[in-house]
Each structure stands twice: as C-alpha cells, then as structure tokens.
Amino acid sequence: MVKVKICGLKEEEHVRAAVEAGATWIGFMFAQSKRQISFERASKLAQIIPEHVKKVGVFVNPTEQQVREAVELVGLDYVQYHGSEETQFIKKLGYPSIKAFSIQSVDDVKRASQYEVDYYLFDAPGTNFAGGSGHVFDWTLLDQLSIPKSKVILAGGLNSENVCLAIAQINPFGVDVSSGVESNGTKDSQLIKQFIETASQKLTGVEK
C-alpha cells in the first residue's frame, strides 16, 4: 500500500485526523511559509503522535544548529531538506533524511542520483515559497529516474481527484500533500481523511 505524508500541519485537530486516517509521515514546516510553525509548537503537537507515525521536519537551507535543535526538541524521525542543500551537508548531519527536488527538466531528475538519502521527494517548483505551491509537474520527466521506486515520494499538487492516477503512473513508495487537503487556505480534516483513504486503496509498483 502506498504511504502518505501529510505536510504543513499546525493544529491538533488536523494531526489527530491524519493519525486516525493512517498517515505514515506528518510534516512540520520550519522554513518560511504560510504553514510555518515554531519548534515549540511542533513539540507540543508531537506529543499526540504515536510512535508508528513518523515526524518530519521540513527545512529550506537550514544551518546545522537549526536542524540539530529541532531534532532534539521535537523528536523528529526524519529531516526533509527542501532547498539547495548539498549531499555532504545532509550526510554530515547524519539524520534519516528526505531530499526534495523541484522538477522542471530532466536535469532536475538526474540531479537526484548525486544524493544518498532515505527518500527522494519529487515536487513542483515553489511559487511564493520553496514548496507547497499546489502545482503539478510533468510526471513523464520521472521516466528518466534511476532511483529505486521504493525510495520515491511524489509531491506537487496532489489531491483526492488526481492521486490514483499519479500512483498508477509513477508507482511511488509514498505520496505527499499539503494544498490538496486544505480549504480556504487551512487544513481540512475531512479532506485529509479522504486523501489518505483514496491513496491507500492503490498498490504501488514496489509491491506488485
């Protein structure tokens, strides 16, 4: 079954909805974003997340100290690097990691093979911020991918309407959503549940 990451959660109600519906990862935004929260707020929310649901801290070009502080305070399971962080920086920090790639061309897809991380997240380029634009990128560019599908998380403009098509076309290990589970700019528990239920009905190529 495909794994689901729900990103940019700020409220207890939405964290509970994601956990109950079966999210695999919950993402906290620590970079500049309309979804940004403090380490202190994230650590409060982390207390209601059971151990089997993994907490992801999302950063854009952070300092080492910021990452270490967040991992410690929030008890992060993964660090998501959503900027232009180099592989040496990620390796040096040594935490379980997700590297995001903004995909506009085949070169962006090929760049992923320079990294040694736990998961590779392919996303549309950001608009106001480095991610979370709600835009879909050209999935056919991932035909050039040399990364095993068992390490791929697909993001960018996913929602309950297009996630099944995305899974059928790409066969990712996981899917990631932020804008697609919001109404009027805030997270919506019903949309979170609907997204997870819809995505979870699909088998990935990894299991076929």
Active site amino acids: 7, 123
Beta carbon of residue 177, minimum distance to ligand LARABZUK (angstroms, whole number): 5
Give the 3-state secondary structure of 54-67: EEEEEECCCCHHHH
Q: Which is nearer to ligand LARABZUK, 33 or 198 (CB)?
A: 33
Q: Which is nearer to ligand LARABZUK, 84 or 207 (CB)?
A: 84
Three-state SS at 31: coil
Nearest one of 200, 187, 198 to 29, comparing CA atoms: 187
- Sequence-ordered list of residues with C-beta below 8 angstroms from that of 62, at least 6 positions apart, any chain: 30, 31, 81, 83, 85
User: Which residues face 154 on adjacent strands?
Assistant: 122, 175
Beta carbon of residue 93, minimum distance to ligand LARABZUK (angstroms, whole number): 18
Q: Are 24 and 175 in contact (CB under 8 A)?
A: no
Q: Which residue is nearest to ligand LARABZUK (CB)?
A: 132
Looking up tokens 């929602």 gives 159
Q: Which is nearer to ligand LARABZUK, 161 or 207 (CB)?
A: 161
Beta carbon of residue 115, minimum distance to ligand LARABZUK (angstroms, whole number): 16
Q: Which is nearer to ligand LARABZUK, 126 or 207 (CB)?
A: 126
Beta carbon of residue 58, minimum distance to ligand LARABZUK (angstroms, whole number): 5
DSSP state of 74: I
61: left (phi over 0), alpha (psi -120 to 50) or beta: left
Binding site for ligand LARABZUK (CB under 6 A): 7-8, 27, 29, 31, 33, 35, 58, 60, 82, 123, 126, 129-134, 155-158, 176-180
